[in-house]
Structure 1
Amino acid sequence: MSEALLILEDGTVYRGTAYGAVGATLGEAVFATGMTGYQETLTDPSYARQIVVQTAPHIGNTGINDEDPESRRIWVAGYAVREAARIPSNWRSVRSLDDELTAQGIVGIKDIDTRAVTRRLRDRGSMRAGIFSGEAARPLQSELLETVRTQPDMLGARLAEEVTAEGPYVIEPAAHGWGAEPIATVAAIDLGIKTMTPVRMAERGLRVHVLPATTTYAEIQALGPDGVFLSNGPGDPATSDDQVQLLRQVLDTKTPVFGICFGNQILGRALGFGTYKLPFGHRGINQPVMDHTTGKVEITSQNHGFAVDAPVGETVTAPEPRYGRVQVSHSSLNDGVVEGLRCLDIPAFSVQYHPEAAAGPHDSAYLFDRFVDLMKEHQNA
């Protein structure tokens, strides 16, 4: 097996073995704490241009199937694991994770202390990194480190347009007692949407028009939706001026809006709040969040490196005052970061996590029901 190196921009080097494709890859090194759901992690577009370090020590034991991908391909830039399963064992498995990484050209590394890497990233923050294996690992480490340090930073990266759908498509409502006609129609802006998200809405009788990140307001108007949804996605929300302006046009018509993850940050910006980069972000399926409306704690699935800069614990007038009063509806119990926004004078709300939770907890599934209720209220107004 080929030797492989994981090199962080602070000069730290981890030696291991090649995993998946052999070669070189660059990206921002981040850690994900989920003990399950590695296939969903790999295919989540929010991980575009990132090298994912799995904190769970054993990865690949259930192989790969064709039902669980969250998008059309693997999006991670690279993959780092401690112990890779030699033989997958699951009744749904059709091939090994190693074979899938190789087939899709994803350069990885195994046999390294991923918890040591995690502690490094936790203490120093997420940083630029590279994985080098085979011939790509032969140059001097000083040269490889220079390659790592000269790659673009995630701060200022505009990536939603790179991962979005090539064209619009429709997910029809599931026939669970609603019949053929939808109870409402949603325009879902794909900023890096996961497959399960429109499925969760279709399960509630919604017809979902999934639209590319470059969609115009006129194209949304032509659909006449009952609500607009903004998805998760990768990159720096400060670069998404087009989507912010699009959302403001929607908000001005008082059309119901629901955003998750990147969509939460876009709503925050549309309301006039700023965003900022977190030291190492929140990534995993075990993130505790306080719902300030109910006082309940939710265990949530998260994947984000940026957050909205808004005051927690008080009702304020939005910096864009035409949108009225806003509350931080949810916050992280780990570090106090804003995890949700709720507008009191217009029908809009958002959360920073993933209520579709595949894989992950289902504590937050009620948010899709809240969106349905908001659209029904708007229909009857």
Structure 2
Amino acid sequence: MIQLSFAPSRIKSSDSLKISGSKSESNRLLILQSLYPEISLQNLSNSRDTLVLQEVLLSKERIIDVGHAGTAMRFLTAYLALNTKTPVILQGSNRMHQRPIEVLVDALQSLGAKITYLNNQGYPPLKIEPSVITKGEVYLKASVSSQYITALMLIAPKLNNGLKINLIGKITSFPYLTMTSQLMKQAGFDVKFNNQVIRVFSSKSVSSKQITIESDWTSASYIYVAFLLSSMQKLRLSLYFQNSKQGDAYVVKFFKQFGIITSYYENELILEKENVAFPKHLQLDLIQTPDLAQTFAVLGLVLGIKMDIKGLSTLKIKETDRIEALKSEMEKLGAQVKTTVDTLKFTSPTSLQPNQLIRTYQDHRMAMAFALVAFKTSVKIEAPEVVEKSYPNFWRDLQKFGIQELA
């Protein structure tokens, strides 16, 4: 546990920092690189999830434990179904064994993969055996995690006939599928994404190519909040590109209504402030950017903004049930909160309850989002080390904005 408070005197008027490569881009490209070694990568994420995936892709172990790394679990399920030479067991933490994977396993089994559940139907751990995948078309629900679909897209070029993915129902987290498609095209693969159909064509090899991974936009969302709530007037962030593949680059538009103007210079973002009247009530649909839910909710809490947020259905199967986790911890601070399976509505208190211990539920985004409460009142954060999952330098970077740990 750490206790945090705000020390305005420590802030410079202008500063800079570099956030490591996008976890989402890194994990996708590592799978592609393992299948096609002609691809080289720069600015890989230093997140624990990415390090876990790197280690597994180099490992010859027959029992693979990914811990809390949900992306690794999903991507490796597809990768190993195609690529293992011996039977392997793919497992994770207790929470990982509560996170469903049946939609992806069903899709892979329909293509010819040999995968069995070792404990509970529909959940890890899994036994994956060598198989020959000959079929080239699959159907699956589009309303579940986009990572199931991405996992299939990433292995598709290695299939003899490529893969046609037919999506059923409303697509959730559409920008993540667009990101996968764009990254694959950048690496040299032929991908077509039209309406409810994704077509990935077979590829024996690709030309040698070096890809520079953009820094992580979801991590940047916490920095945008810190910049807004601090007295800092200018901030440079790198390594960011103007035409981002990441859906969470939406933060540029979102924070403009709070007076943060974002401009680009070479591969840097330049953040500056202008005086505006903050909104008092926001209605948000985050179906395309669910990983921003905790950041935005805590911002509303700190600024006393009433928020109605929808499009959160995928949050129930993340590292924790993020909807209920948000409700529980926000109520500790004095908010009035109502939830459904995909909505969060709350009214902020006049003043936040100080010195509350915020549970993080082994969820990195709970720790990082609620740390921002320290700009308003002192707060205690349980298990601060969970940030290593996506943003290991978070606590160090937060110090630039005047947040300090109390002894």
State the TM-score bracket (shorter-chain normalisation).
under 0.3
TM-score (norm 2): 0.23
TM-score (norm 1): 0.24
Greater relative contact order, per chain length (Cα 8 Å cut-off, separation 6+): 2
